[in-house]
Structure 1
Amino acid sequence: MEVTSHLKWNPILADPTGRRQSKPRTLGKTMVIDKGLGLHAFEDLLATSGDHLDMIKMGFGTSPLYPLELLRTKIEMAKAKGICVYPGGTFLEVAIAKQAIPSFFEMILALGYTGLEVSDGTIEVNRKLRNELILRGVEEGLQVITEYGKKGWGSSIELEELIETVTLDAQFGAELVTIEARESGMGVGIFDALGNCKDEELQQVLCAIPSQQLLLWEAPLKNQQVHLLQTLGPDVHLGNISTQDIISLEALRRGLRSDTLFFGTREE
């Protein structure tokens, strides 16, 4: 077999935009949701897409459904690739509802999780408790990602509430605030029942917050990813990306697909 270790793509071909950061990135982070990958599929995911992946969320409350050693192995594999890995916020909501927060933290730390998602997508979490959970995560050395928005069909963004949430979450140590869109991307947050972006609401949000880079937009559908990239640029943070779409999203970010080819050709 011919050795290809000396080969390297011309940078202008690998990234026509010339602006894609290498990991650890501060711009253009990609979060993937793992809804039950086996060990071999997870290994393949990291082998093909690990360099283009910044965060892996073990979706909703799936963490206790894995054999513990398999889950620990997946976490360690992700960490070795410089990927933040964390349980879905719904699992923490279960812990809140069942008054099992100490046990929740004990287990996720023992398993080696490196991130924490604090959300109130299903239950109500008062501001005081939200602050305490963010602080607890920071004190434990976890990367804290919070989430704004309810998971119910037709839920929308309340601007004043969003501004307060983003401002206070950041003050207490959250690195990113996720804008809820669920796994479907339809009828939630900035997306209508067909999954199309409500641009007026998007612009209202952007005008209201101190920095676009505080937000991670859940955008599971390709048309949503393309629209947000075209509207906000290739450095937007995107989440709830399916495992099979990471490479195609990275191609969009770099101007290596027809939808965003202009990223690599326009003058800055």
Structure 2
Amino acid sequence: MKNFELPQLPERTVKTRENGLTMVMDKGLSLRQAADLVGASDEYIDIVKLGFGTSLITKELDKKLAFYHEAGIKTYFGGTLFEAFIVRDMFDAYRSLVSKYKMECVEVSDGSIQMPHDQKCRYINELSRDFIVLSEVGSKEEGIMIRPNLWISMMNKELECGAWKVIAEARESGTVGIYRPNGNAHVALVNKILKNVPQDKILWEAPNKSQQAWFISLLGANVNLGNIAPDDVIPLETLRIGLRGDTFQQFMPKKAAEQNSGD
């Protein structure tokens, strides 16, 4: 929806879409906050992740999920909750849980526990028979750097096993995985991944504005971005279409850009 016309903006994909996704992180929104989020931003939100284990103690969880589902927003529990069940040898209980809450998606991750990759792939394969699977690659621990070739092989293998998208880990802080402790991207790592994994199959966690702008500048308006804060959904959409200073020059109409450069 646009309140008025402004020509020559980048073309955005529309829901239901395969690229240009925005995944929002719900870290315990109240029912009223969830309703407000949907009311203000539903057409820009593709997926909501109920972060880590917050779903265990969130009040009125059923009603909140209903708001999201009725708005055409996919939902899933964060990967840390999946790992909490796995480490307790409760995979079947986890499957029952996501079915009980009518989750369309699940996340399979191993960022907090040690898990053989073959085992992770078996979970992806099995869950993909009944759910849309997002698999997360990368450690949540600071200082742990996975070799680029290993990132690439794990991502491709997980896609082969049935993952819909692979998530490039950054945590909600944006300081691990594909980012350095100062929040800057591991540029060489990202570029190597992009050369070997289909771009539209990757969802880049980018909780901070500078990270969102960096990926939009690199890959365009329809890059898949995740771990977006609820209050940042509309600001992110304006970044995507060049209506904030960080991406304004990139998406300026050609004639205006030439005039602005003095040519």
* Alignment of structure 1 residues 133-148 onto 2, 5 Å: 133-140=123-130, 142-148=131-137
CA distance in 2 between counterparts of 1:73 and 1:133 reads 29
Identity across the alignment (%): 35
Equivalent residues of 2:74, 2:105 under 8 A apart: yes
Deviations 1:159-214 (A, max 9, x none): 2221221111111211110111011111x1221121112222221222232x1111
Deviations 1:22-79 (A, max 9, x none): 1001111011111000000000001111110011000001121124xx1111112111
Under a length normalisation based on structure 2, what TM-score does the superposition of the two structures give?
Answer: 0.91
**Structure 2 residue aligned with 1:192:** 180
Q: Does 1:57 align with 2:45?
A: no
1:258 pairs, out of 241, 245, 250, with: 245
**Structure 1 residue aligned with 2:33:** 41
- The one-letter amino acid paired with 2:165 is L
1:96 pairs, out of 86, 89, 94, with: 86
2:105 pairs, out of 115, 123, 126, with: 115
Over 6 Å off, 4+ runs: none
* Alignment of structure 1 residues 58-207 onto 2, 5 Å: 58-67=50-59, 70-140=60-130, 142-186=131-175, 188-207=176-195
CA distance in 2 between counterparts of 1:104 and 1:203 reads 35
Equivalent residues of 2:28, 2:55 under 8 A apart: no
Gaps of 5+ in 2: 256-263
Partner SS for 1:20? coil
Q: How far off its partner does 1:155 sit?
A: 2.3
Equivalent residues of 1:157, 1:190 under 8 A apart: no
Higher mean displacement: 155-164 or 234-243: 155-164
CA distance in 2 between counterparts of 1:264 and 1:143 reads 37
CA distance in 1 between counterparts of 2:167 and 2:127 reads 16
Q: How far off its partner does 1:134 sit?
A: 1.3
Gaps of 5+ in 1: none
With over 3 angstroms needed to count, the CA separation of the structure-2 counterparts of 1:266 and 1:237, relative to structure 1, is: farther
Across the two proteins, how many residue pairs are aligned to each other? Answer: 254
Q: How far off its partner does 1:264 sit?
A: 4.8
Equivalent residues of 1:76, 1:112 under 8 A apart: no
